């Protein structure tokens, strides 16, 4: 029996052994004797088993000692590292210090641990090379005992995740953040560096400047390595991982394979999911799923943005997100820059309702009836003996509300100003062409007013068709179908004696269709 050997060692002798084990200085004590070796094996057995729990508990209490930094305060804890805020003792500036979690290393085999350490250092060196105003700069690398660390700029603010989770943020603001981040990501992509772990948690918004900054560049592999090896719960969620990466991860290949499957387009995918998550304020994966199940969900696309329609997100943004999160990498935006461009366009889109409140209502309630009444009136006037000039006045009455709106909607952003100018040109050209057509027909068919209008209306409809085709380029693409419809209407007008009525009805319907379907009218 082991217990009976106790008698051979007194408590004082045991205290000496205990201190020797603590200090690691085991030469001065005789561990070779039977009691000594038994003592040591029991100590080591219990200590090894207790080690993971000890590191988990110990890391709560005291921050590690980092050379050059004082006043370390724990700020956040990720899958791989703990982030502290520390005062740099030379510059007297607060930096963020990310330290690899000691309990991560404690639980792994020696080889894995040294590999993880090496990788952490390599990745932080990579991150240190990246410089951009929207990327959190890395200052310094080092090692505290066994744990590697790096320091970076302390960003005073919250992550996009916290900001969008706690309160609703305007889509414009979120899109602006993601646009800037996408541009930054694009720049580093061109240097051949991939981020690999873009998610709202990694995007920090500096409070004073409202500037989004992305952190943890290139550190994804580490998180992936630790989560996949441990199959564990809390480290990096796979929710933002592209399906091709999830597939590589799930097939149980090494993390190097996952890294190899990482491309520019997998970062584009993550940017798209990040945008969706920030806009909707929830995580893309369904609740109560383990990381394994989440990975499987990502592979088959069983994610909220694929299965639910979020009415809070405008259809145009939904289209952009869908293009990012396509399961086929080839159909995504080919670069992050392209995505940024699409988002910038969305930000600059004309929003007529904002520049001129109730424009949509105006189109339905005022412009459409005016056009309809003018068409009906012209038809009536042609049947009676009304002077020609009166008829022309009624014909052109429809332009009045159109140009009145243009004049009223002056205050707009840069992109919208461009659109405004374009619309002015198109509709002013429409007016000029109509007036010159009117004059030419007036000269040709001087006394025959009936014949004059029979020709004028098809001509007018053809010009309108042209105007809508011109608008379809930079505005709602549906305008080209409106253009086609007006071409058909022009032909119909030549075949019937009811051209003015037909015009009035068609114009009124067009107004209502535009007010209902053109995005720039819908979004307030």
Partner 1 sequence: MKRTQQQTADDLERRRPILISLAEALLSPAFRGHVDASDLVQQTLMEAHCNIDELSELADAPLLAWLHSALKHNVLDAIRHLRTAKKNVARNVRVGDLQNSFVRLEQLLVAHDTSPSQVLQRNEDISRMLAALQTLPSNQRMAVILKHLRGHTLKEVSEMLEVSESAVAGLLHRGRQQLQVCMLEERGE
- 472 touching partner 1, by CB under 8 A: no
Question: 224, 216, 292, 300: which is closest to 261 by C-alpha?
Answer: 224
Q: Which of 103/197 has CB closer to partner 1?
A: 103
Q: For partner 1, which residue of 7, 28, 60, 328 counts as binding (CB under 8 A)?
A: 60
- 162 touching partner 1, by CB under 8 A: no
Q: Which two tokens stand for residue 162?
A: 């916290």
- 42 touching partner 1, by CB under 8 A: yes
CA gap 4, 7 in Å, rounded: 6
Q: Which of 96/273 has CB closer to partner 1?
A: 96
Compute φ and ψ for 197, nearest 5 degrees: -145, 55
Nearest distance in Å: CB 71, partner 1:
16
CA gap 472, 478 in Å, rounded: 7
DSSP 73: E
Nearest distance in Å: CB 150, partner 1:
21
- Angle (CA) 448-452-456 rounded to 5° is 175
Provide the pairing of β-strand 94-100 with 138-144: unpaired
Q: For partner 1, which residue of 14, 408, 491, 497 counts as binding (CB under 8 A)?
A: 14
Q: For partner 1, which residue of 8, 33, 46, 209 counts as binding (CB under 8 A)?
A: 46
- 111 touching partner 1, by CB under 8 A: no
Q: Which of 77/190 has CB closer to partner 1?
A: 77
Nearest distance in Å: CB 236, partner 1:
13
Q: Is 467 exposed, middle or buried (0-12, 13-18, 19+ CB in 10 A)?
A: buried
- 77 touching partner 1, by CB under 8 A: yes
- 73 touching partner 1, by CB under 8 A: no
Q: Which stretch binds partner 1 (CB under 8 A): 111-119, 227-235, 407-415, 444-452?
A: 227-235
Q: For partner 1, which residue of 165, 230, 302, 420 counts as binding (CB under 8 A)?
A: 230
Contact criterion met (CB below 8 Å) for 403 and 427: yes
Q: Which residue has the tokens 């641990």?
A: 113
CA gap 290, 294 in Å, rounded: 6
Nearest distance in Å: CB 39, partner 1:
7
Nearest distance in Å: CB 226, partner 1:
10
- 443 touching partner 1, by CB under 8 A: no
- 320 touching partner 1, by CB under 8 A: no
Question: 279, 311, 281, 283: which is closest to 297 by C-alpha?
Answer: 283
Question: 512, 490, 484, 516: which is closest to 503 by C-alpha?
Answer: 490
Nearest distance in Å: CB 74, partner 1:
8
CA gap 372, 83 in Å, rounded: 67
- 389 touching partner 1, by CB under 8 A: no
Say how many residues make up the chain. 524
Positions touching partner 1 (CB under 8 A) are 2-3, 6, 9-12, 14-15, 17-19, 22, 38-39, 42-43, 45-47, 49-50, 52-54, 56-58, 60, 77, 103, 107, 230-234, 292
């Amino acid at each position: 029996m082991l217990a009976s050997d106790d008698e051979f060692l007194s408590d004082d002798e045991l205290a000496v052994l205990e201190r020797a084990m603590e200090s690691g200085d085991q030469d001065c004590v005789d561990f070779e004797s039977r009691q000594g070796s038994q003592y040591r094996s029991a100590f080591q057995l219990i200590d090894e088993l207790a080690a993971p729990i000890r590191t988990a508990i110990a890391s709560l209490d005291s921050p590690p000692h980092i050379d050059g930094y004082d006043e370390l305060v724990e700020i956040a804890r990720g899958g791989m590292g703990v982030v502290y805020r520390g005062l740099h003792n030379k510059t007297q500036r607060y930096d963020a210090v990310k330290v690899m979690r000691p309990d991560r290393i404690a639980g792994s085999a020696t080889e894995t641990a040294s590999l993880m350490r090496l990788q952490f250092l390599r990745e932080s060196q990579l991150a240190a090379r990246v410089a951009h105003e929207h990327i959190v700069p890395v200052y310094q690398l080092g090692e505290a005992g066994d744990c590697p660390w790096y320091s970076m700029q302390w960003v005073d603010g919250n992550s996009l995740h916290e900001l969008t989770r706690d309160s609703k943020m305007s889509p414009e603001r979120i899109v602006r953040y993601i646009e800037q981040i996408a541009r930054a990501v694009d720049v580093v992509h061109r240097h051949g560096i991939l981020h690999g772990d873009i998610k709202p948690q990694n995007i920090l918004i500096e409070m004073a400047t409202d500037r989004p900054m992305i952190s943890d560049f290139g550190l994804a592999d580490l998180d992936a390595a630790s989560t996949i090896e441990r199959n564990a719960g809390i480290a990096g969620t796979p929710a933002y991982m592209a399906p091709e990466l999830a597939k590589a991860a799930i097939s149980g290949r090494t993390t190097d394979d996952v890294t190899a499957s990482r491309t520019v387009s997998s970062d584009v995918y993550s940017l798209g999911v990040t945008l969706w998550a920030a806009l909707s304020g929830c995580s893309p994966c369904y609740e109560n799923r383990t990381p394994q199940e989440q990975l499987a969900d990502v592979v088959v696309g069983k994610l909220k943005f694929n299965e639910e329609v979020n009415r809070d997100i405008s259809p145009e943004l939904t289209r952009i997100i869908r293009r990012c999160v396509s399961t086929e990498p080839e159909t995504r935006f080919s670069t992050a820059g392209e995505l940024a461009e699409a988002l910038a366009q969305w930000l600059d889109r004309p929003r007529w309702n904002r520049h001129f409140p109730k424009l949509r209502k105006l189109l339905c309630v005022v412009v459409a009836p005016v056009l309809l009444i003018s068409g009906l009136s012209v038809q009536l006037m042609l049947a009676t003996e009304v002077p020609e000039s009166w008829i022309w006045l009624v014909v052109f009455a429809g332009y009045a509300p159109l140009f009145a709106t243009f004049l009223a909607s002056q205050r707009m952003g840069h992109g919208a100003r461009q659109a405004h100018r374009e619309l002015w040109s198109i509709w002013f050209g429409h007016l000029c062409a109509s007036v010159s057509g009117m004059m030419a027909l007036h000269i040709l068919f001087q006394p025959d007013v009936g014949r004059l209008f029979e020709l004028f209306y098809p001509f007018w409809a053809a010009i309108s068709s042209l105007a809508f085709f011109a608008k379809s380029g930079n505005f709602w693409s549906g305008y080209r179908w409106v253009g086609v419809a007006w071409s058909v209407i022009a032909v119909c007008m030549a075949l019937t004696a009811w051209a003015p009525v037909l015009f009035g009805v068609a114009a009124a319907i067009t107004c209502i269709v535009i007010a209902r379907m053109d995005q720039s009218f819908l979004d307030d």
